[in-house]
Structure 1
């Protein structure tokens, strides 16, 4: 087994301190864990932020002010060595919901006074008990929909507050057998190879069957939605997505890790593609756009069974000249 308990402990301690901090204490907490040259990559309109104080001021303090009594409800917690740099760096991954009472405006979204859940997934690079890089993607359109807004036309999948893994075994605070993580990473890599070519010579359904279980669960972001089984995934997401784009670039990741039966990756961006019309009810633009994506997977046996996806759709459509956040809230939010 690879012992990554020290790196995990750093993130566990960060979360304990951050989750109990007041909005005004956020910068002090982050400064204890973030390195002086820390890079934070976040969902639009946040973009790339440098340094603990700036991350606290722009993201955590306003979020904690808006979602009072904020609590972290984790579904996945894992760590791994990063395949993208030859397995030299260590990253710790957390996925779940940040839940609170939506009591004050956030990003122009009016509060409801009710429970609200912000889906999130965070990758933290840990070096010598300090965090040097963070990628944190969340689902702002999902929060908007909970507040009664409709940022996108009706999606092809289902809009849900998403559950965690079916076996409820993904909070891996202890080390996992190394061989299991290697199996998971191998299946993810095979799937990436299939996904990236868009021309396997097979039907879409048969292509998916090479690496996915027939009853796969694809937990997509708000604006696309969740879908279940290979035929419905092909019908409700993968088919329409491929039909709506051209000139897809090769896949590019900053981090790709696996531990036990779980694994995932993120890119900045993962790939670019040009919309030809129809995707999410939007017209063609002819302008290539970036897809910043986090994917988390659960392997069952020799195939993938579940997938949780975070796509920065606000960033993508902003590149197409559509400010979804401003258009829906009546405000204006520039990307950093």
Structure 2
């Protein structure tokens, strides 16, 4: 059993300090908790940044200017060793919402002057009592929808709120049973390694039943939506995805994959490279291959996957195909920021 409580304490202290910061003080706060060469990965339009000053200028200062009285409302908090690098890297992962009053334009999205919820998943690698690497995924299309501007045609799944675990036990602030942690990681690994149905000589439904509970919940990102049960997941996501995006499909692997307790997940940069042949999310065909950066977080029960929260950098994926979602938003809404 590896004790990761020190890493958890550091990340929680960083989050508390960010919550108390404003646009003018956030750079100093980040510098207290991160290494000078801190590698930060964010979604489009921020992409990769290095060092606390750059991260503050590119993400946090504009965000804290647009949103006031920000609260961090986590649903999952776990720590673990990274399977991808031979269980060397020490990672702390949090998922939930950043809630605030959306009072000024952000990324061209007009303010609502009401409560707004920004979905997020954040992976932090800690080394020598400093955060040295971060991946922060936020659901920008979900925020756009809250402001009354849906950037995509009708979704394949349901567009709803994105709640935390049905079991309400995702905040693993204390050490978890290492046997349960290993079992959760094994269930996630089984999904990653699960061959295609055509290779196994079985139906896609049978293949998914090997790794998923029948009443699984797939909390997809805004623009795709959520699905409940294997049958509806196949109909509402897997089938449309497979029909439109399997040409030139390539799995690029993950940068981090870990688990603690009954929860775990991974992210890649990018996870997938594929060609959009048209139709998925109501979008036209793309000009060639495009990358997908993806986060998947899971709840495991009895050795199978029960819930799955997904973040995809859809704006980056669209930009590679010539669609500037934020530029179009700014032009239509007359926003700034």
Please give the TM-score of this superposition, normalised by the length of structure 2.
0.96
1:32-66 Cα deviation digits (max 9, x unpaired): 11101111000111100111011011101111111
> Is the alpha carbon distance of 1:266 and 1:197 closer, same or farther for their aligned partners in structure 2, counting shifts above 3 Å?
farther
- Deviation, 1:2, is 2.0
CA–CA distance in structure 1, aligned partners of residues 151 and 5 of structure 2? 41
- Match of 1:210? 210
Residue 58 of structure 2 is aligned to residue 48 of structure 1: no
CA–CA distance in structure 2, aligned partners of residues 130 and 64 of structure 1? 23
CA contact (8 A) 1:150 1:328 kept: no
CA–CA distance in structure 1, aligned partners of residues 215 and 297 of structure 2? 17
Equivalent position SS for 2:56: helix
CA–CA distance in structure 1, aligned partners of residues 127 and 25 of structure 2? 24
- Match of 2:4? 4
> Is the alpha carbon distance of 1:256 and 1:97 closer, same or farther for their aligned partners in structure 2, counting shifts above 3 Å?
same
- Match of 2:235? 235
- Match of 1:324? 325
1:119-146 Cα deviation digits (max 9, x unpaired): 0000000001101100000100000000
- Match of 2:137? 137
1:279-330 Cα deviation digits (max 9, x unpaired): 1111222411101001100001010000000000000010011111211331
Residue 94 of structure 2 is aligned to residue 80 of structure 1: no
Residue 283 of structure 2 is aligned to residue 282 of structure 1: yes
Equivalent position SS for 1:247: strand
- Match of 2:248? 247
- Match of 2:158? 158
CA RMSD of aligned residues (A): 1.4
1:179-223 Cα deviation digits (max 9, x unpaired): 111111111111012267875432222111110000000000000
Mapping 1:9-20, distance limit 5 Å: 9-20=9-20
> Is the alpha carbon distance of 1:27 and 1:179 closer, same or farther for their aligned partners in structure 2, counting shifts above 3 Å?
same
CA–CA distance in structure 1, aligned partners of residues 107 and 321 of structure 2? 20
Equivalent position SS for 1:190: helix
CA contact (8 A) 1:44 1:315 kept: yes
Equivalent position SS for 2:77: strand
- Deviation, 1:251, is 4.0
> Is the alpha carbon distance of 1:87 and 1:331 closer, same or farther for their aligned partners in structure 2, counting shifts above 3 Å?
farther
CA–CA distance in structure 1, aligned partners of residues 290 and 199 of structure 2? 21
Equivalent position SS for 1:159: coil
- Match of 1:260? 261
Please give the TM-score of this superposition, normalised by the length of structure 1.
0.96
CA–CA distance in structure 2, aligned partners of residues 128 and 265 of structure 1? 23
CA contact (8 A) 1:196 1:251 kept: no
Equivalent position SS for 1:160: coil
Equivalent position SS for 1:142: helix
Q: When the two structures are aligned, how many residues end up with a matched partner?
A: 332
Residue 173 of structure 2 is aligned to residue 180 of structure 1: no
CA contact (8 A) 2:254 2:268 kept: yes
Gaps of 5+ in 2: none
Gaps of 5+ in 1: none
Equivalent position SS for 2:54: helix
